[in-house]
Amino acid sequence: MSISLNRRSLLTGAAASGLAAPAVAAADFGPVGRPSWAADGPQGAAARKGLAFGAAVPSNLLNRSPDFRTILARDCGLLLGNNEMKMAVVLPEPGRTDFAPADSVVRFARAHGQHLRGHALVWHEALPAWVAPRLAGADARQAEDLLRRWIDTVAGRYRGMIESWDVVNEILAGYGPVRRPDGLRETPWLAALGPGYVDLAFHLAREADPRAALAWNEDSLEHDFDWVEARRSRALKRLEGMRARGVPIRRFGIQAHLVGDHPFDATKFRRFLRELGQLGLGIEITELDIDDKAFPADIAARDRAVADVVRRILDVALDEPALLNVVTWGLFDGDTWLNDHPDHRRRDGLRQRPLPLDEGMRPKPFRDALIAAFRAAPDHSAARARLRNTT
Ligand code: XIL
């Protein structure tokens, strides 16, 4: 079942759900402070090229650890909560919202003059338990209503404060057989709304926060495998269609959860970025980390190998004018999801070292590689200015 997108019905729906004014004003999150970052850190180097560097942060650590706050303030020009704006956290039960975790990230970023990303409005994971059954029992109208109310709730609250919002996340089918000709992943949203749910989510997000650059964020697009190349083609094809249909998408997020020994073809990746840029989209590296399980146990050797992977992808990525932001999925090794994930755990039982700082929050070669890559990059200021207001 697919839904017909009719602008008038969208606007009527928005009015009916009381979207007119956000319940909270930006000023309630405190004044925007002076930029806190160090000139010789990754954000300092990025900013000189019109780029930004940042990290995903968990609010519990942010609220608990002064040392963590210090490294975030020093190294980052952009932050996002790693789970804080997901549906499972914000809407744990129908009608009950919890904004406290997200609010603390928003407050911290504003106080430190840092930009914010929003992550993620429509995803098949981090759904509260009540949502899948609710969607399964809904007709298209009711499902659209649920999606609208959810997007209004979270994107409406932070309206005007978010540089870019991940509107849809990981929507393409992954490693296994791709059953649908359009290559979409089968999710409760797709089942309830049909393939039009992707465009619909962008229109709804646009109503909720007209200034945010709306993004499609996607995984498994970086390495040199046939199935990955097929995903790159599918992403480009869908993006062309979205642009032709006037869907308000302005950014494309490449997650970049890289695996140390997986092949990387600079030419193919460069071509992909160029084609994204030619579609008029801004590009962000949104979740960079390096799974080091193929690398030796020795720490110096391992950290060097990880830094080499970082440099290899960034040298290609930062050559592309449309590339705007680089974001790591955590800032230090004590805060990585990779040790919890069965696909990523190291066989020797050692903990992963996938991020710019070590478990003691000391800089690693990864951080040096970031700084060196930003220093070597061309100036992106003109492209950023050009892409700022594109719809
Ligand atoms: C991860 C979080 O970091 C974990 O804490 C959580 O348990 C699972 O999700 N792709 C994404 C992110 O888009 O939202 C995921 O974050 C990592 C993979």
83: CA distance to ligand 1 center in Å? 7
Nearest CA to ligand 1 atom 15: 82
> Percentage of the chain with pLDDT > 70?
93
Question: For the chain, which residues make up each domain, given as ranges?
Answer: 7-16+31-388
56: CA distance to ligand 1 center in Å? 10
Residues 328-369 have pLDDT tens digits of 999 999 999 999 988 899 999 999 999 999 999 999 999 999
Atom of ligand 1 nearest to the CA of 337: 3
18: CA distance to ligand 1 center in Å? 31
Residue 273 near residue 333, CB atoms below 8 Å: no
Q: Which amino acid is at 248?
A: P
Nearest Cα neighbor of 273 from 309, 236, 244, 248 is: 236
Which residue is listed with tokens 């504003």? 110
Nearest CA to ligand 1 atom 12: 82
Question: Residues near ligand 1 with C-beta < 6 Å?
Answer: 82-83, 120, 169, 255, 287, 337
pLDDT value for 142: 97
Nearest-angstrom CA–CA distance, 194 and 131: 16
Residues 230-239 have pLDDT tens digits of 999 999 999 9
Q: Is 125 left (phi over 0), alpha (psi -120 to 50) or beta?
A: beta
9: CA distance to ligand 1 center in Å? 34
Nearest Cα neighbor of 156 from 218, 91, 110 is: 91
pLDDT value for 391: 43
pLDDT value for 20: 38
pLDDT value for 176: 82
Residue 285 near residue 326, CB atoms below 8 Å: yes
161: CA distance to ligand 1 center in Å? 22
Q: Averaged over 198-222, what is the pLDDT?
A: 98
Atom of ligand 1 nearest to the CA of 166: 13
Residues 247-300 have pLDDT tens digits of 999 999 999 999 999 999 999 999 999 999 999 999 999 999 999 999 999 999
Paired tokens of 123: 């995803």
Check pLDDT > 90 for residue 388: no
Atom of ligand 1 nearest to the CA of 82: 3
Check pLDDT > 70 for residue 310: yes
CATH says 7-16+31-388 is which class? alpha beta
Atom of ligand 1 nearest to the CA of 169: 13
What are φ and ψ of residue 136, in 5° steps? -65, -30
Residue 87 near residue 150, CB atoms below 8 Å: yes
221: CA distance to ligand 1 center in Å? 17
